[in-house]
Amino acid sequence: MIQSPIPWPNGARCACAITFDMDADSLIHIARPEDSFDRVYPISMGRYGPTVAMPRILETYRRLGLKQSFFIPGWCLDTYPDVVDAILKGGHEIGHHGWIHEDPITTKGDEQEVAFERAMDAHKRHCGAAPVGYRAPVYNVTQQVIDLLIKHNFRYDSSLMADDIPYEMQTSNGSLYEMPVHWGTDDWPPFAHYDEIGYMMPVRGPSAGLAGFWEEFEAQYEAGGFFMLIVHPFLTGRLARWRLVEQWLEKTLDTRDVWFAPLREIADHLDGLKADGFTPRIEQLPYYAGPQS
Ligand SMILES: [Zn+2]
């Protein structure tokens, strides 16, 4: 069972979102700023995302009539504007994902605020509006980030793990929804191998690496919950992996009663339910005022 199950539109049994974090080569530039510009191999691995995988992913979504959410660092918006245009043309959402994938745990205070605002400016320039959703690089949300999201009227975060389904986070300054993530539905553990940024992982075969995701879906479907993938174009957008995701999408759309939506539409839906008297599960933040011992 799940607490406070959310009634989905048109009686759908489960809400689904395949969310992509289009980090491209920002990962190597933030990790090795002194010489990243001349590390051609990791640059090429990251560039595969916007240049090769994204057209493939967007074509699948166009063919299947899906609108989804993409989280993109501001630096990537500036560096790959053509793919940003293609995403927007497809009717998809682009959320805030830091400036150049800086980790909020190590980028605090003024430095965090400057990076956050710089990314806001890039969103406004490329997307014509401020983003309403945020996913922290490496999921590392801090209270400062939550306060910045509330200050800038964000409607949701998608970096935290306190429930299986969307919930609400309340602070003394305001509230926002959480569209919860988990490593079990993230493609980094099965597919990333990136020595330069500290990941030496045993890369799984396409079907083995994706199998856990589909088990997560079955449990959420049975419970009437929320199934979200957190995946990367340069990993899951590769030919053999995306072929299997595409087949799963086709089968699921054909045979299951699911609602695929960008996360901002799930936030809209929650707003509507709340106006009708529904209360999502609530987490009060900050969790702690200071060090615990
Ligand atoms: Zn990322």
Q: What is the pLDDT of residues 221-262, one digit of tens each?
A: 999 999 999 999 999 999 999 999 999 999 999 999 999 999
Distance 22 CA to ligand 1 centre (A): 7
Residue 89 contacts by C-beta under 8 Å, 6 or more apart in sequence? none
Distance 97 CA to ligand 1 centre (A): 7
pTM of the model: 0.97
Domain boundaries, given as residue ranges, for the chain: 13-276
Distance 275 CA to ligand 1 centre (A): 33
Query: Does the structure show a pLDDT above 90 at 187?
Result: yes
Query: Does the structure show a pLDDT above 90 at 202?
Result: no
Q: What is the CATH number that goes with domain 13-276?
A: 3.20.20.370
Distance 138 CA to ligand 1 centre (A): 6
Give the tens place of pLDDT for each residue, 104-139: 999 999 999 999 999 999 999 999 999 999 999 999
Distance 83 CA to ligand 1 centre (A): 16
Distance 66 CA to ligand 1 centre (A): 22
Distance 257 CA to ligand 1 centre (A): 30
Residue 11 contacts by C-beta under 8 Å, 6 or more apart in sequence? 257
Distance 139 CA to ligand 1 centre (A): 8
Distance 27 CA to ligand 1 centre (A): 8
Distance 10 CA to ligand 1 centre (A): 33
**Residues with beta carbon < 5 A to ion ligand 1?**
21, 23
Q: Where are the beta strands (DSSP E) in the chain?
A: 14-21, 69-72, 93-96, 133-134, 156-157, 167-171, 174-178, 226-231, 258-260, 282-284
Distance 24 CA to ligand 1 centre (A): 9
Residue 48 contacts by C-beta under 8 Å, 6 or more apart in sequence? 233, 234, 237, 238
As a whole number, mean pLDDT of residues 70-86 equals 98
SS3 103: coil
Cα dist from 54 to 49, 166, 210, 215, whole Å? 6, 27, 19, 26
Of the candidates 177, 198, 224, 249, which has an alpha carbon nearest to the alpha carbon of residue 7? 224
Q: Which two tokens stand for residue 205?
A: 């075969």
